[in-house]
Amino acid sequence: MDRRADAIAAALGRGDDVAFVRAPGRVNLIGEHTDYNGGWVLPMALELDCLVGYGPRGDGEVNVASLDEPDDIQPWADALVEALAEEGREGAGIDAAVATNVPMGAGLASSGALSIALGLALSRVAGLALEPAVLAEACRRAEERATGVPCGFMDQMVAALGRPREPLLIDCRDAAVERVALPETAAVVVVDSGVRRSLSDGRYAERRAACNAAAARIGVRSLRDATPAQVADDPVARHVVSENERVHRVVRALQAGDLVEAGAVLTEGHRSLRDDFAVSTPELDGLVDRMVGLGAYGARLTGGGFGGCVVALAPADLAARLADTAVCIC
């Protein structure tokens, strides 16, 4: 916690009667647009986080303010109350205030951090203890209702379970999680393209609909179950099937300490997002080339695409040379 805690306490006006919870943003190392297709992802929590200060109310009212986006927070709170009620939360009043240092619209899951942090506060004030996967799914439903954007639950799972420098291999079909060690000689560098995007502009939903249509055409439950031969002529589906395999290739490379191979797979993944899934931009492509040109093992866009950030896997001793352009270095 930092100066945000003092600002939150002042905004609430409750003196010392304020409890705090936090949830981190995340960077997805590999596994883009695989989560809502029942596949695998390899995200990692960041030091950047969403901080919520809160205290109980006796009248059942739920009042939530944001120090960052004052006009946008109450619909999230209302959607979370509804989703948590489905998991057994009974009416309990709360005064809460939110402050985040996760860049918004940068593909670093600022909304996932918000939903988990606020969901934790709403749960705790009501005496409700939920398993992380259950909380993550409730928060996913709430985010979908608040934004109207269909989404997977990767971001919420990382916000609930993640720790910096500890990638999580998440099976998005059964919510199984395996922690993967990041070699000490590796640095994860996140660089912002400066291009902001909104997943509510329709392009994300179009890609998801195309994936669902491809699975139905092939006759499988989701593209996780499709084979490379079945999707060879469909670029969108081809990306998803090949991306699932790339997730496992990166995990194996990290476990073997083969950072050169892991980086090469990241760059391969960027080409797939650019050429097959068509969600990159010239700014993102340029950043990937720049990171690799400066000596990174590999780089790719991270997040839904259409803007946001690039993630690079680099030698730890190279991180200082990239620090002037980085959002964060892990």
CB atoms within 10 A of CB 227: 10
Compute the distance between CA of residue 101 and CA of residue 91 in angstroms, rounded to an integer.
Answer: 30
Instruction: Return the active site residues.
Output: 155
Q: What residue type is 112 in one-letter code?
A: G
Please, what's the b/e burial string for 295-328 (b: 16 or more CB within 10 A of its CB; e: otherwise)? ebbbbbbbbbbbbbbbbbbbeeebbeebeeebbb
What is the gyration radius of the CA atoms in the chain, in angstroms? 20
* Cβ neighbourhood burial of 68 (10 Å; 0-12, 13-18, 19+): middle
Q: Which two tokens stand for residue 116?
A: 């988990």
Compute the distance between CA of residue 304 and CA of residue 257 in angstroms, rounded to an integer.
Answer: 28
Compute the distance between CA of residue 104 and CA of residue 98 in angstroms, rounded to an integer.
Answer: 14
Give Cα 83 distance to the centre of its chain: 20
Compute the distance between CA of residue 223 and CA of residue 13 in angstroms, rounded to an integer.
Answer: 50
Point out which residues pair with 310 in neighbouring strands.
191, 301
Compute the distance between CA of residue 316 and CA of residue 294 in angstroms, rounded to an integer.
Answer: 13
Query: Taken in order 242, 26, 89, 97, is the CA torsion positive or negative?
Result: negative
